C-alpha cells in the first residue's frame, strides 16, 4: 500500500507486501514490512527512511544553502506517527536526508543503517547505540548477503551506485530493501533513489532482481 502524506489513507500495491507511506513532499518514507512473529510480536517491521519532518535543513552554512518545506509534512513529530520505529535508513549525510532534529526524536536504541558519511555524522551526535554502514551490493551477489545485524532474516538492505564515476556514483545511488513475505514467500525489492538514478543501471538492477516484485521510490 502507498499513501502520500496521508498516513491514514492508503492504496493497495501488493496484498501481501509492504505498506509504504510518504511522510513529506521530499524523500521521507515509512515502510512497514510483513515479517514473522518470531521477529516482532505483531509481525510488522517499521523502517523510517531519510526523515525530515519540520524545521529548516542547512548544507554547511545557512547563508550557503537553507531550505524549508513548502508543503507541510503529514506529521510534525515522530511520535505523531503513532507507530514503533524498528529501524532507520539514511541514504546521504545532507540534512534533508539526515536531519538531526527529527532523528533525535527517535529512541536511541533504534538501529540505524546508513551510507558511510551519514553513519559518521550520526555517530558524532552520540545518540544512537547501534549504527551500521550499508554495504554495496556487488554484481551477481544474492540479496541475502545484504542482511545486517538487527534486521529480520527476511529483509536485506544494500546500496547500488549508478555509474563507475566516483563523484557521480556517490550522489546518484539506490538504496535497495529486498524482502521475502513470511506467509507467501513472495519476493520483492523496494528501491529508494533520492537524487535520481541512471536508467541503464536501473535496467541492470532489474536483471539482478529478476523474479522479484519491484517498486521504486523517489
Question: Could you read off the pLDDT of 117-144 as tens digits, one per residue?
Answer: 999 999 999 999 999 999 987 766 776 6
| Domain residue ranges of the chain, discontinuous segments joined by + | 2-217
Angstrom distance (rounded) from CA 106 to CA 127: 9
Q: What is the pLDDT of residue 195?
A: 57
pLDDT tops 90 at residue 7: no
Q: What is the pLDDT of residue 164?
A: 53
Q: How many CB atoms lie within 10 A of CB 145?
A: 11
Residues 157, 163 contacting (CB under 8 angstroms): no
Q: What is the pLDDT of residue 136?
A: 85
Rg (CA), the chain: 17
Instruction: Give the closest residue to 111 by CA, choosing from 163, 46, 53, 31.
Output: 46
pTM to 2 decimal places: 0.80
Q: What is the pLDDT of residue 193?
A: 76
Residues 143, 158 contacting (CB under 8 angstroms): yes
Cell numbers 541492470 correspond to: 204
Instruction: Give the closest residue to 178 by CA, choosing from 213, 207, 149, 204.
Output: 213
Out of 34-38, 87-91, 208-212, the most confident range is 87-91
CATH number of 2-217: 3.60.15.10
Q: In the chain, count of helices (H) and strands (E)?
A: 4, 13
> Can you tell me the mean pLDDT for 200-218?
51
- Higher pLDDT: 144 or 163? It is 144
Q: Up-side HSE of residue 16: CA atoms within 13 Å toward CB?
A: 13
Angstrom distance (rounded) from CA 63 to CA 44: 42
Q: Which three cell numbers stand for residue 140?
A: 551477481
pLDDT tops 60 at residue 215: no
Backbone dihedral angles phi then psi of residue 194, each to the nearest 5 degrees: -65, -35
**Predicted confidence band of residue 165 (pLDDT cuts 50, 70, 90):** very low
Question: Could you read off the pLDDT of 74-112 as tens digits, one per residue?
Answer: 888 999 999 999 999 999 887 777 999 999 999 999 999
Amino acid at each position: 500500500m502507498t499513501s502520500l502524506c496521508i498516513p491514514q489513507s492508503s492504496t493497495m500495491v501488493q496484498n501481501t507486501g509492504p505498506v509504504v507511506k510518504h511522510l513529506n513532499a521530499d524523500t521521507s518514507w515509512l515502510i512497514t514490512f510483513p515479517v514473522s512473529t518470531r521477529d516482532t510480536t505483531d509481525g510488522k517491521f517499521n523502517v523510517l527512511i531519510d526523515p525530515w519532518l519540520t524545521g529548516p535543513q542547512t548544507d554547511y552554512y545557512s547563508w550557503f544553502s537553507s531550505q524549508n518545506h513548502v508543503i507541510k509534512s503529514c506529521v510534525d513529530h515522530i511520535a505523531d506517527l503513532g507507530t514503533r520505529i524498528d529501524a532507520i535508513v539514511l541514504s546521504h549525510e545532507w540534512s534533508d536526508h539526515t536531519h538531526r532534529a527529527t532523528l533525535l526524536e527517535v529512541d536511541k536504541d533504534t538501529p540505524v543503517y546508513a551510507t558511510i558519511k551519514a553513519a559518521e555524522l550520526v555517530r558524532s551526535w552520540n545518540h544512537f547505540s547501534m549504527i551500521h554502514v550499508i554495504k554495496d551490493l556487488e554484481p551477481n551477489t544474492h540479496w541475502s548477503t545484504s542482511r545486517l545485524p538487527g534486521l529480520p532474516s527476511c529483509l536485506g538492505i544494500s546500496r547500488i551506485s549508478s555509474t563507475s564515476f566516483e563523484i557521480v556514483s556517490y550522489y546518484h545511488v539506490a538504496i535497495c530493501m529486498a524482502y521475502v513475505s513470511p506467509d507467501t514467500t513472495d519476493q520483492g525489492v523496494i528501491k529508494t533513489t533520492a537524487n535520481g538514478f541512471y536508467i541503464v543501471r536501473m535496467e541492470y538492477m532489474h536483471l539482478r532482481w529478476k523474479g522479484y516484485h519491484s517498486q521504486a521510490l523517489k
